[in-house]
Structure 1
Amino acid sequence: MAISRWYPIREVATLQDRVNSLFQDFGGDNGTVTAASFAPAVDVYENGEKVVLKLDIPGIKEEDLDIRVENQTLSVRGERKFESEEKEENFHRIERRYGSFFRSFSLPITVDTENVQANYNAGVLKLELKKKASAQPRQIEIGTAA
């Protein structure tokens, strides 16, 4: 029986290569342009008066966005289209994602779904949802006891 050396680093590298090939097969990353969906990054914060969402969606035109509020759920749908001036085979690398996306957010009942403002500037979609008057903080005055 021959004794062979065990190289744990080589085993890990082999495993990593196998996992990478699985993801490449799944994502279709074989040098061609694919219309893979993506999920834009979102910041969500609130203060006493409103809830604010900021979505990073550079390269998407306003007419390619669909924003809806239904049953206390805010949904944003859009599409980034691949606009190639060159043929696909002339690209060396394509890392930006193209295709459609869909994000939905459950809204608290304190949000007034009738009062939503949307602004789109420099690739950032900003949605402001005002809170209902009953949900906004108010100052309580202290009375004197008789």
Structure 2
Amino acid sequence: MTDKVKETKVPESSPEETSVFHPLASLRRDIDQLFGDYGRGWGNFFNRPLSMGKFSLNPSTDITETKEAFEISVELPGLEDKDVVLSLKDNVLTLKGEKKEEREEKKTDYHLTERSYGSFQRSFTLPPNVDPEAIHADFHKGVMTILLPKTEVHEPEKRTIEIKSR
């Protein structure tokens, strides 16, 4: 989607059509409003994390950079370190997790059981100046902090390749 939203004009209605006594006036007004608003703010709706209760399936992430390292902070409320897997493959750091929540309440006149499940995966392509061997993570009070220490970038040696003509 683009950042620009096209304004949609709602057709003018005659006073008889919009009268509260007209049987379809409120339905038409609702439909006009729906199509008039179509596109406004929908980009934010689709980019918003899906949520199940208090847990977001796309956890909030902050990335900061210092002179020595990059730091990724991920909010994972209600999770523990055993619920999360952090892996590195082909210069891509991947964080996966799953939230399982069950609640059961038994009273004399009813029995309530609620279950909610959700999983997430976030991947980060590492810049060339990160030392993959020195990456480490810490989990404290629902926040995972991943430290990505920097290293010097060694530029590959440049060479000229001979071109032969036929």
- Normalising to structure 2: TM-score of the pair? 0.56
* Greater RCO (CA < 8 Å, at least 6 residues apart): 1
Task: Structure 2 unaligned segments of length 5 or more: list them.
Answer: 1-13, 19-24, 38-44, 46-51, 106-111, 154-166
> Percent same amino acid among aligned pairs?
31
- What SS is found at the alignment partner of 1:12? helix
Q: Give the aligned partner of residue 159 of structure 2.
A: none
Tell me which of 123, 130, 146 is aligned to 1:111: 130
2:93 matched to 1:74? yes
Structure whose CA Rg is larger: 2
**How many pairs align?**
110
Q: Give the aligned partner of residue 27 of structure 1.
A: none
Q: Following the alignment from structure 1 to structure 2, what is the Cα–Cα distance between the partners of residues 69 and 125?
A: 16
Q: Give the aligned partner of residue 164 of structure 2.
A: none
The runs of at least 4 aligned residues of structure 1 exceeding 6 Å deviation read none
Task: Structure 1 unaligned segments of length 5 or more: list them.
Answer: 17-22, 24-32, 136-146
- 1:83, distance to aligned residue in structure 2 (A): 2.3
Q: What are the Cα deviations for residues 73-100 of structure 1, in whole angstroms up to 9, with x where unaligned? A: 10000111112133247xxxx9xx7411
- 1:59, distance to aligned residue in structure 2 (A): 0.5
Tell me which of 12, 18, 33 is aligned to 1:12: 33
Tell me which of 52, 67, 70 is aligned to 1:48: 67
* CA-based RMSD: 3.3
Q: What are the Cα deviations for residues 9-29 of structure 1, in whole angstroms up to 9, with x where unaligned? A: 53215887xxxxxx9xxxxxx
- Normalising to structure 1: TM-score of the pair? 0.63
